[in-house]
Homo-oligomer: A and B are copies of this chain.
Amino acid sequence: MRKPKIVVLGAGYGGLMTVTRLQKQLSHDEADIVLINKNDYHYETTWLHEASAGTLHHDRVRYDISEVINRSKVNFVQATVEDIKTEEKKVFTSEGEVEYDYLVIALGAVSETFGIKGLHEHAFMIANINSARQIREHIEYQFATYKNEEEKKDERLTIIVGGAGFTGIEFLGELGNRVPELCKEYDVDPKKVRIVCVEAAPMILPGFDPELVKYARAKLEKKGIEFSIGTPLKEAKADSVIISKGEDEVEEIKAGTIVWAAGVRGNPVIEKAGIENMRARVKVEKDLRAPGHDNIFIIGDCSLMINEEIDRPYPPTAQIAMQQGEVCANNIISLLKGNDEGLTAFTPDIKGTVCSLGEDDAIGLVYGKKLMGTKASFMKKVVDNRALHMIGGTSLVFKKGKFKFF
């Protein structure tokens, strides 16, 4: 008798959670499990701002997939997913076709540039290990070049960060700590360095508690970071950005480095596959299945769920993706057992949100309690270690966890 085949696309937080839960609960003869991922490693998307700034080496931000999957139960295929043909129940990858009975789409988000001119060409995105590494090296190269060029171009040492949301602010926090190190490493006068955050919205960290936001901004400004708020970025050029300062007024800021951290959209494979979507995200059913597709689950960045309390979508976070992975695994097992009626409805359980401001500082709301400074920073590391623990257990926490608490 042919075993049912479960194919999981993506080894991010959601995908790995699904696979580790499936391998724990299913025996060899109950199903074939296939995990498809572009790299042979998982990376911590929520730590990429550190690798990008250079405050944490990228090898500390990733681990081998083989460390957390049970090879005797899970067949890992390293390949890039290119398309899905839902009628044929097939996934098309860079390494060939894979058939499925049940499909879990746990592919990651891509940067959203909102059609802003020049961004795709001239801005770096904090998207994955490769791009984070390039940002780090680009900034270091700007410092090294500045020090060696005959006619000093001060603008080389200006870094523009587009976006004052979660990623933008966390990246700024790291840069604030990193710049003094860079100045020492390259013998550069710290007064020559400028870091400017450009945000279209009228505030930073929209949705966060105002008291915490005030604390964050003050701490970042103390590190020398400038904020240009309520001023949309209009265009990125090779060596500058143009920002709107009012009706007809614009300002050009020369900059050696432009990093865009202002938005993400779902994975383009969703659009290619023809599944109904909004910006490549699918408004999933309560049981996490794609509407009209009984055998396709969508979790993580490509899933869209409305928080009915505020009538806005939940943000794509690691916390929700992992919770979805658990429910998704359980629901697939129910289906395998023919229990179509017993699928669990997913409800996010938001334990809290902590926004880092560098290794030693943070703000957060945890179980309804406001935190800032070292307490919040401690909690951030607990959250980071918890994600490692949920996927890879204690041994992974010891290997890749964050323990420099003070």
Binding site for B on A (CB under 8 A): 129-131, 133-134, 136-138, 140-141, 143-145, 147-148, 186-187
Contacts and interface: CB of A to CB of B under 8 A. Distances in A.
A165 to B, nearest CB: 23
A133 B186 CA distance: 8
Contact of A144 (B134, B143, B147, B148): B134
A276 to B, nearest CB: 28
A144 B147 CA distance: 21
A145 B141 CA distance: 12
Nearest to A143: B137
Nearest to A58: B185
B137 A141 contact: yes
Tell me which of A129, A141, A145, A187 has the highest count of chain B C-beta atoms within 10 A of its own C-beta. Answer: A141
Contact of A137 (B130, B134, B140, B187): B140
A137 B133 contact: no
Nearest to A59: B185
Task: Please name the 10 residue pairs, one residue from A and one from B, whose CB atoms are nearest each other, closest first.
Answer: A137-B144, A130-B148, A134-B148, A134-B144, A137-B141, A141-B141, A133-B144, A130-B147, A131-B148, A137-B140
Contacts of A134: 141, 144-145, 147-148
Nearest to A138: B141
Contacts of A140: 137, 140-141
A389 B330 CA distance: 71
Contacts of A129: 187
A141 B144 CA distance: 11
11 contacts: A130-B187, A131-B148, A133-B144, A133-B147, A133-B148, A134-B144, A134-B147, A136-B144, A137-B137, A137-B141, A141-B141
A144 B141 CA distance: 11
Contacts of A145: 134, 137-138
A312 B148 CA distance: 34
A305 to B, nearest CB: 31
Contacts of A137: 137, 140-141, 143-145
A187 B134 CA distance: 12
A134 B140 CA distance: 9
Given A130-B147, A136-B144, 11 more contacts: A130-B144, A130-B148, A131-B148, A133-B147, A134-B144, A134-B147, A137-B141, A138-B141, A138-B145, A140-B140, A141-B141
A13 B136 CA distance: 35
Nearest to A40: B187
A141 B133 CA distance: 9
A330 B213 CA distance: 68
Nearest to A130: B148
Contacts of A148: 130-131, 133-134
A140 B138 CA distance: 9
A39 to B, nearest CB: 8
Contacts of A133: 144, 147-148, 186
A207 to B, nearest CB: 31
